Structure 1
Amino acid sequence: MPSSSTQRNPWRYLRDADVLHAAVVTLLAVVLSAGIVWLGYVVHVWRIARRAPTTLRGRWVVLVFGRQLVADAPGADYRGRLARALALLREKTAGRVLLLGGRSGGARSEAEAGHAWLQGQGLPADAHVELEQESVDSLENLRHARGLLQGGDRAEVLPPVALLTSRYHLARCLLLARRLGFDGHAVAAEEGLPRTPRYLALLLMEATYLMWIDLGMRWARLIGHRRMAARIS
């Protein structure tokens, strides 16, 4: 069982000097551009969310991103991701599935809860499903998935992967995956882009996260801040 130190705690980032540095740079960019920079990221996130496919051709390694559990069980967003993964397994386009996610405050990991849900929905007996149970955010999800796929050998070439998550989350996952050396391709959980106030709020929040990460990395490269640039590597 993962230790309590692996539980999700978003406030821990507020104690990180590099993260705060990136936040200041991002805020300045938004203020100096009168919000235009942020609107550009909103459009980018929306386009990826709207255009992402729900099917695959060929046979893929599929990374399924977890979501914080509700009473130790997958909530609606996470069930949508798991249902899409199950469909890909039944179609035989998902040759290997990695369920990503550690503990988010409950008694079991997101990956473990997701696996139990899949089994309850009729997971095929020949399905190749692995659990990654140590990560607490999307970046760690991908870092640990990379380690599993490379078997501990960083020199080994990573296979192309399908990043399966909710539409609002896809742009950030793609950015992080490509930064970590993945050849990542988006697969959406939902059939179409939901048009609800909640979903709009999630898209706007993701655009803010994406801007924070992307501008922080660009700034780090510009000023030669190696430690900051290495945060996503």
Structure 2
Amino acid sequence: MSTVSSLTLRSALADPALRESLLASLAMLVLSGGLIFLVTWIWVQAQAMRRARAPEVDWLIVCGHVLDAGRPSAVYRARLERAADLAGRDAGLQLMLAGGGEPSEAAVGRDWLVAQHGLSPERIRLEEASTDTFENLRHARTLLPARARTGIVTSRFHIARVMVYARQLGMTAQPVPAEASWRPTVANLAAGLREAVFLCWFACGRFWARLARRRHLLERIR
């Protein structure tokens, strides 16, 4: 199943497991006359537009985003700003920044929070081993204290996929949108379509793996 928003089609086709899940997903998409994608897109938009509630958490996982010339992108800054705002209100709140690379998205995010908001590095843990959203959460899951009340900070267009991944990994987490509300901008609409593609791929691939009892595929999402 696809777990990578930045994964190129070429690299996906080079991976036998992802190639199998992609073909299965395309077959289901054709057989449904595109209905599966439509339902998925509606779900992505519905989650993006949901009214946020005040998080009651001990830890915030902050999803990374591709860097802009080694600095946090506008999307990433919005996520970091939201985490900083909540951390400023609750002195006991701990942050886990997720995202690998060189330099890692997590490390760049920490440095930005320290420089821009004066947050203590002691409150920030880094998850730098991952290269995609699914790995972000899988690795973060192992770093969190037992029974920690957890929130996941990400962009509204990203919430649906993040929460599906979290549930797949057995995580009980609260979505914490970076933005106060969703706006119908071209960027947000395009991001919603992209998210629907990857979420549809994941869901269809998972369905195929369970239906056909493809253990090698199921192992990829545990």
User: Normalized against structure 2, the TM-score is what?
Assistant: 0.91
Corresponding residue of 2:128: 133
Matched, 1:164 2:153: yes
Name the CA distance, whole Å, in 2 between partners of 1:125 and 1:183: 27
Name the amino acid aligned to 2:132: D
Name the CA distance, whole Å, in 2 between partners of 1:149 and 1:202: 29
Matched, 1:214 2:192: no
Q: How many angstroms does 1:147 deviate by?
A: 1.7
Corresponding residue of 1:110: 105
Name the CA distance, whole Å, in 1 between partners of 2:121 and 2:74: 26
Name the CA distance, whole Å, in 2 between partners of 1:124 and 1:215: 41
Name the CA distance, whole Å, in 2 between partners of 1:222 and 1:122: 49
Q: How many angstroms does 1:121 deviate by?
A: 1.6
List aligned pairs for 1:3-14, cutoff 5 A. 10=8, 11-14=10-13
Name the amino acid aligned to 1:215: C
Name the CA distance, whole Å, in 2 between partners of 1:13 and 1:98: 28
Name the CA distance, whole Å, in 1 between partners of 2:128 and 2:120: 22
| Number of residue pairs aligned between Structure 1 and Structure 2 | 216
List aligned pairs for 1:87-98, cutoff 5 A. 87-92=85-90, 95-98=93-96
| Change over 3 Å in CA distance of 1:52–1:164 after alignment to 2 | farther
Q: How many angstroms does 1:116 deviate by?
A: 1.1
Note if contact 1:89-1:127 (Cα within 8 Å) is conserved in structure 2.
Answer: no
Corresponding residue of 1:188: 177
Q: How many angstroms does 1:127 deviate by?
A: 6.1
List aligned pairs for 1:17-36, cutoff 5 A. 17-36=16-35
Higher relative contact order (CA 8 A, sep 6+): 2
Matched, 1:147 2:142: yes
Per-residue CA deviations over 1:109-137 (Å, capped at 9, x if unaligned) read 10111011111222334862111111110
| Change over 3 Å in CA distance of 1:53–1:127 after alignment to 2 | farther
Name the CA distance, whole Å, in 2 between partners of 1:81 and 1:192: 13
Name the amino acid aligned to 2:11: R
| Change over 3 Å in CA distance of 1:38–1:9 after alignment to 2 | closer
The sequence identity of aligned pairs, in percent, is: 35
Name the CA distance, whole Å, in 1 between partners of 2:147 and 2:44: 25
| Change over 3 Å in CA distance of 1:183–1:64 after alignment to 2 | same
User: Normalized against structure 1, the TM-score is what?
Assistant: 0.86
Structure 2, unmatched stretches of 5+, are: 1-5
Structure 1, unmatched stretches of 5+, are: 1-7, 151-156
